[in-house]
Structure 1
Amino acid sequence: MAHGCWRPALALVLVLLGTYAQAPSSRHMDDFIEAVRRVEAGALGSGPLAVLRRLRGAAGLDDAFVRHFLGNVSDVPRLDASLSGYLRAAVRHRVTEDGREEGVALTPDGTTVALAPLLLGIEAGFLARAAGRARGLYQLTLARAPDGAALLGPDGCWDSVASPRVFTLLGGPSAALTAARVNGGVDGVVLGTEVSAEGRRPLLLSGLLAEYYARRPESAGADAAPRLLGRRRRENFGGLVAPPALARQVVKAAALRRRLTGRSKMAAEEKKQLAASATEAMKEFVRQYVDCPPIIPRCMWGARPYRGTPTNLTLPLSFMFIHHTSTPGDPCLTFERCAADMRSMQRFHQEDRGWDDIGYSFVAGSDGYIYEGRGWLWQGAHTLGHNSVGYGVSFIGDYGAAVPSQHSMGLVRDRLASCAVGGGRLVSDFVLQGHRQVVSTSCPGDALYEEIRGWEHYGEVKKGK
């Protein structure tokens, strides 16, 4: 190699290594991707599989179950102590006795992802591409519940969205399958399937992650989002796997784990009972993580506490009332903007109007997410005289002349409504109305009101009833 080519390449490596000499302490996905770039810089010429093996070795993801599908990593080169320590802390997943969930990262879209199942799924995908057949994709990502079919667990809150370090589960410690663990597993399946496909352009691991968890510009709303994007994980996952197939993978994972630990083979009756349990668990899993829309919890958008004592709703309710915020008047297209709009509305409702909290039950952004207001259980302050009988769902923006994004309308029309019915929060024959139908107001705007008149469950009801 000529010296003129070699020296710039060496200089680039030194710059990269120097830039990331100190491993980050933040648990943001951007910081994790920078650590992956550092591993790649130290493995120039190696493909994604070699980098993934180094990550797995540093993180200690090398038990018998993982080795069965992905092979041993005892022979991979060691990383420097600082980077290795960061990766072990960032990737190894566990829930502590005080309710902290470790091994998770905050993504730019405001959701939290467990890194271990994400990386294992991607490695299984690259290995399938190299070997010509897929092995263990679902078992490594979503079918490793401790008891074969564990209950679904909670979401959580970060100590800081700007510099996340500690993630605490809502409701304390949980042995169940947490929301972050599911998100990581789903993303592992989606990306593992993507990279295993023939004809998929080769991409560095850091590039794949950066592309999938990209920070979207303010000008790019949900309708303009590419197919392969983290905020679309539920739609993408729903198109990949059927619940019966995933239930079978749960049984296979339990049987394999038993064999690898030297225990006796699972009896036919025990396997039958586990299969029945897994099938039932899959129904709730699909409802919660495929059929229902992704909802950003209050703690993630920075909600102030409720003032006073909330009034609990008596479920199921009979109505869903559609609103627009009018102010803010523009759609919010990113998590940062939508979260800021939620805080602004809550301040206005609490300080200017004297309400206990933000009035709406839920709010739809144009970033691909629903934001929790008063939620499923607390009575709102959205539709005067009707707050006890229905949920108030608002779209951020003024929709007098134009409608919200097609994606955000679909989240409310198709997924939030069916989620409410499936979860016993709305009656199956609920009535959907615009705010103006029961209160003297222009809300939800002329364009949006004309739109919802064509929605299923829309109903004409006289004012005052």
Structure 2
Amino acid sequence: MAHSCWRPALALVLVLLGTYAEATSSRHMDDFIEAVRRVEASVPGSGPLAVLRRLRGAAGLDDAFVRHFLGNAVSDVPQLDASLSGYLRAAVHHRVTEDAREEGVVLTPDGTTVALAPLLLGIEAGFLSGAAGRVRGLFQLTLARALGSSALLGPDGCWDSVASPRVFTLLDGQSTLTAARVNGGVDGVVLGTEVSAKDRRPLLLSGLLAEYYARRPESTGPDAAPRLVGRRRRENFRGLAAPPALARQVVKAAELRRRLTGRSKMAAEEKKQLVASANEGVKAFVRQYVGE
């Protein structure tokens, strides 16, 4: 009798595991937020900063540049289960493959594609801030490092499915500064600045993301979408990133990368060329992305 009951039970377990694997293979923001909730539940009572560090550790966002600003990712806590860790690494680690597939991006409810790595790094930097609006490394972690490689906004792409997105393919060529990479960086700046004010810090990271990326109808008046919402990223970013300041951050990011790799300090002429290139590149980027 026990043996006859064992097979249906095993079949049910396999079905449930298959269902979970199917859900976590989707690259929709709602699925990522659900994964964040699972991380939050793994250490009850942990705040957003602890959760962000766990996410960074699971995703492997722990190079010398990131550690310079954020410190080491959490490693002395209970390990996440293999399926969740695998999903987080695949969902967060950003790269463009040789066949023009962009990984580390998710589809948001309003139809925008967003890279998760710069988003999460910006939010973590904001939580580490000791003063509202003054966030160490915010622009370097989210946008400046990428802008130093390519100031022109790269290609957008398309998903294989809107209902259950899994593969995002770029429409034209390869570039690490893709539209999704910029969207994630801009959202990281906006949300990192927001949570730098201690009186505006949410209790849960999942709640912050769910509120910011919630789909809301286009409207005006009393029912209009709130200020802090994903589809208003460009207007919110416009007030945070003056081109000269952003250009300085591009230069600082390049100098830091050079120093962290053990290279000698830039000669005066090389620094002058870098500054000029950063100024022109950022102006072009702001015109293209912000529209000014």
Q: Report the TM-score when normalising by structure 2.
A: 0.87
Query: In the TM superposition, what are the counterparts of 1:160-309 in structure 2 within 5 Å?
Result: 160-172=161-173, 174-216=174-216, 218=217, 221=219, 224-291=224-291
Query: In the TM superposition, what are the counterparts of 1:366-377 in structure 2 within 5 Å?
Result: none
Whether the 8 Å contact between 1:125 and 1:196 is mirrored in structure 2 is yes
**Deviation for aligned residue 1:191:** 0.1
- Comparing 27-36 and 149-158, the one that deviates more: 149-158
Instruction: Indicate the SS of the match to 2:290.
Output: helix
**Deviation for aligned residue 1:177:** 1.1
Aligned counterparts of 1:89 and 1:200: Cα–Cα separation in 2: 30
Aligned counterparts of 2:220 and 2:86: Cα–Cα separation in 1: 37
What is the CA deviation profile of residues 210-230 of structure 1, one whole-angstrom value per residue up to 9, with x for unaligned ones?
0000022x5x62661100000
**Deviation for aligned residue 1:21:** 5.9
Q: Which residue of 2 aligns with 1:126?
A: 127
* Structure-2 change in CA distance of 1:207 and 1:125 (3 Å): same
Whether the 8 Å contact between 1:121 and 1:137 is mirrored in structure 2 is yes
* Structure-2 change in CA distance of 1:158 and 1:90 (3 Å): same
**Deviation for aligned residue 1:73:** 1.6
Aligned counterparts of 1:34 and 1:95: Cα–Cα separation in 2: 25
* Structure-2 change in CA distance of 1:222 and 1:33 (3 Å): farther
Aligned counterparts of 2:132 and 2:45: Cα–Cα separation in 1: 20
Q: Which residue of 2 aligns with 1:31?
A: 31
**Deviation for aligned residue 1:278:** 1.1
The AA in structure 2 aligned to 1:113 is V
**Deviation for aligned residue 1:287:** 1.3
Query: In the TM superposition, what are the counterparts of 1:72-83 in structure 2 within 5 Å?
Result: 72-73=72-73, 75-77=75-77, 78-83=79-84
Q: Which residue of 1 aligns with 2:14?
A: none
Instruction: Indicate the SS of the match to 2:175.
Output: coil
1:92 aligns with 2:90: no
Higher strand proportion (structure 1 or 2):
1
Aligned counterparts of 2:106 and 2:189: Cα–Cα separation in 1: 17
Whether the 8 Å contact between 1:148 and 1:278 is mirrored in structure 2 is no
Q: Which residue of 2 aligns with 1:66?
A: 66
Whether the 8 Å contact between 1:121 and 1:192 is mirrored in structure 2 is yes
Between the aligned residues of both structures, percent identity stands at 83
Whether the 8 Å contact between 2:147 and 2:282 is mirrored in structure 1 is no
**Deviation for aligned residue 1:270:** 1.1
Unpaired segments ≥5 residues, structure 2: 1-16
Higher helix proportion (structure 1 or 2):
2
* Structure-2 change in CA distance of 1:74 and 1:36 (3 Å): closer
Aligned counterparts of 1:203 and 1:163: Cα–Cα separation in 2: 29
* Structure-2 change in CA distance of 1:190 and 1:114 (3 Å): same
Whether the 8 Å contact between 2:153 and 2:178 is mirrored in structure 1 is yes
Aligned counterparts of 1:230 and 1:32: Cα–Cα separation in 2: 16
Instruction: Indicate the SS of the match to 1:113.
Output: strand
Aligned counterparts of 2:195 and 2:26: Cα–Cα separation in 1: 28
Whether the 8 Å contact between 2:122 and 2:138 is mirrored in structure 1 is yes
Aligned counterparts of 1:113 and 1:278: Cα–Cα separation in 2: 24
What is the CA deviation profile of residues 398-450 of structure 1, one whole-angstrom value per residue up to 9, with x for unaligned ones?
xxxxxxxxxxxxxxxxxxxxxxxxxxxxxxxxxxxxxxxxxxxxxxxxxxxxx
Unpaired segments ≥5 residues, structure 1: 1-17, 293-465
Whether the 8 Å contact between 1:148 and 1:250 is mirrored in structure 2 is no
Whether the 8 Å contact between 1:152 and 1:176 is mirrored in structure 2 is no
What is the CA deviation profile of residues 305-328 of structure 1, one whole-angstrom value per residue up to 9, with x for unaligned ones?
xxxxxxxxxxxxxxxxxxxxxxxx
The AA in structure 1 aligned to 2:135 is A
**Deviation for aligned residue 1:288:** 1.6
- Comparing 279-288 and 99-108, the one that deviates more: 279-288
Instruction: Indicate the SS of the match to 1:236.
Output: helix
| Structure with more contact order per residue of length (Cα contacts < 8 Å, sep ≥ 6) | 2
Give the CA RMSD over aligned residues. Answer: 2.1
Aligned counterparts of 1:40 and 1:51: Cα–Cα separation in 2: 6
Whether the 8 Å contact between 1:118 and 1:188 is mirrored in structure 2 is yes
Aligned counterparts of 1:146 and 1:249: Cα–Cα separation in 2: 10
Q: Which residue of 1 aligns with 2:54?
A: 54
Aligned counterparts of 1:122 and 1:249: Cα–Cα separation in 2: 18
Whether the 8 Å contact between 2:102 and 2:168 is mirrored in structure 1 is yes
Q: Report the TM-score when normalising by structure 1.
A: 0.56
The AA in structure 1 aligned to 2:166 is R
The AA in structure 2 aligned to 1:106 is L
Q: Which residue of 2 aligns with 1:337?
A: none
Aligned counterparts of 1:132 and 1:282: Cα–Cα separation in 2: 21
